[in-house]
Structure 1
Amino acid sequence: MKKIILLLSVLFLFNSCSLEDESDKFHYELLPIESVDIPAEFTLGETYNITIRYYRPSTCHAFDGFYYEKDLNTRTIAVQNVVFEQNNCTNLTETLVEQNLEFYVTSNGSYIFKFWQGTNDAGEDVFLEYEIPVN
């Protein structure tokens, strides 16, 4: 009798487990930056807010932070969104979103900021570039 109960329990256990992922499916996407408000100069040791604007393509896109790469005093920045793969997404045409990036100045000289604006017809990355001196 114990063996039959054990066998039935194991069958119910395996039958109740689903191998399919029932959670929301999503992926990450970098979005082009439309415009930037950045100070004309920095002071060593200070923190600055850099306002970054981009267009949100659909209601399934949600801000997930910044892609941020540094190489000496060059900073490459893009907007990262999480995209939920759902059937009820609505395309947005004129939804300009603002996000602030806090930047702490740690070195002298000047910083070069490269804000990713997408790719051109040849598939090459296009950047909005600023060189900001540090006083």
Structure 2
Amino acid sequence: MKRLYVLLCAGIVAVISVSCSLDDDQTNFKYATLKTVSANLPDTFELGKVYKIDVKMLRPNECTYSETFDVSRDFTDSTNIRTVAAIGIVLDQADCAVVNDSIQDSFQFEVIYSNPYVFKFYTGDDENGEAEFLEIEVPVKHN
């Protein structure tokens, strides 16, 4: 019985070893900040509602895809500033043709404060390496 148990364990280890190959067949990728081209926000928000925010981003090559958004709050200002950066995935491939077209994605935003919101969408860096933003202010309707 002990011999059967040892053979069974050896068989399981062999199967696991073969199925967990560390070959370079896997696609590698990295994250990159994408430049915002435009954003579609409502004219006003209502307190307590959730809105779909559509964002159009620049896709520099055919190996770049939209992944998510980094929406961060500026805690130093009382006007509810949100800085938005579109995060993309760039596949690590040698044959990525330059396309410079736009892609669209969206994120959900819940209005929890009654003050106006200021959205700052990252549009790239200027000639001095300073970040530039598309700024859109959206007032909040009071019921």
TM-score by length of 1: 0.79
What are the ranges of 5 or more consecutive residues in structure 1 without an aligned counterpart?
1-12
Provide the residue aligned with 1:80 in structure 2.
Answer: 87
Provide the residue aligned with 1:117 in structure 2.
Answer: 123
How many residue pairs align between the two structures? 120
- d(CA) in 2 for partners of 1:35 and 1:19? 42
Tell me which of 63, 66, 76 is aligned to 1:63: 66
- d(CA) in 2 for partners of 1:78 and 1:38? 15
Cα-to-partner distance string for 1:8-63 (whole Å, 9 max, x where unaligned): xxxxx9xx898775532211100110011111110001111111111211111111
Displaced runs of 4 or more, over 4 A: 16-22
- 1:57 is paired with a residue of what secondary structure? strand
Provide the residue aligned with 1:100 in structure 2.
Answer: 106
Change (3 A) 1:18 1:48: closer
* Greater fraction strand: 2
1:131 and 2:137 aligned = yes
Provide the residue aligned with 2:5 in structure 1.
Answer: none
TM-score by length of 2: 0.75
Cα-to-partner distance string for 1:78-102 (whole Å, 9 max, x where unaligned): 1111111112212113x22111221
Tell me which of 50, 55, 63 is aligned to 1:52: 55
Between the two proteins, what is the percent identity of the paired residues?
34
- d(CA) in 2 for partners of 1:38 and 1:78? 15
- 2:43 is paired with a residue of what secondary structure? coil
